Amino acid sequence: MASRIKLLVLDTPEAVAQHVAGQFVSLVRDRPGAVLGLATGSTPERSYAEIVRLSKAERVSFAGVHAFNLDEYHGIACEHPQSYRTYMNRHLFDHLDVRPWNTYVLNGAAADVDAECASFEAKIKACGGIDLWLLGIGTNGHVAFNEPGSPADSRTRKVALAESTLASNADGRFFKTPAEVPPHALTAGVGTVLDARRLLLVAIGAKKAEIVAKAVKGPKTPDVPASLLQDHADCTFVLDKAAAERI
């Protein structure tokens, strides 16, 4: 089957953030009990700031929303300054009226990792599945922490991070050296992500251009996990010009 990925190329990172925020805020306006999927990394930061601004400007309440995050580092406490729980609270949850108990970020410090991953999947099911999941892409093609080699039917589990991911996340934005980055993570699987009713993958900047092109029009292969999104019935890549230039 040919790639079903839809492309939306916008002029600037700000326009990308405005589009993403518009999609989330209008979903929640129309469906106050919406089930959202969220991501971390540098890319969504602008989108989260814009969701906060727009939801306040348009008086859209997130009080009925459930929100699930893609992934979390293994072996660090929720309170760690670089945990994805800390990131989400800082960039989004603390600024919305979403109920903290309805926000689900995998617990990287859970004593029983398998039970933690199974309960994450069960909670998504109990909420009726994810309406809209925001995704980023790693320079090696990872989605969440599904590194190259992750199959399309993978579920939430503990994974080892690729060397390139350790390096990317140790460039000073999050950690200072690769040795500081936790070597393992808990991540929603490719299959978990593909179950969402709608996907929005966001990429910004020239350093994502090559991998975005491979994901959109390259062969569908676990070597480029984002290429496995090609089969999804409603997946849009929202790109700035720089990230789209190799397609």
- Active-site residues, by number, are 71, 140, 142, 147
Strand order in the sheet with 132-135: 6-10, 235-240, 198-203, 132-135, 35-38, 66-69, 103-104
Name the nearest CA neighbour of 116 among 85, 152, 93, 147.
Answer: 85
Cα separation, 221 vs 130, in Å, equals: 24
Q: Which helix (H) or strand (E) holds 166?
A: helix 163-168
Shortest distance in whole angstroms from residue 185 CB to ligand GLP: 7
**Residue 144 C-beta: closest distance to ligand GLP, Å:** 5
Q: Which is nearer to ligand GLP, 169 or 227 (CB)?
A: 169
Q: How far is the CB of 168 from ligand GLP (least distance, A)?
A: 7
The residue among 18 and 29 lying less far from ligand GLP, judged by its C-beta, is: 18
Cβ closer to ligand GLP: 39 or 113? 39
Q: What are the φ/ψ torsions at residue 86 (nearest 5 degrees)?
A: -60, -45
H or E, element range at 133: strand 132-135
Give residues in contact with ligand GLP (CB under 6 A). Answer: 39-43, 70-71, 136-138, 144-145, 165, 169
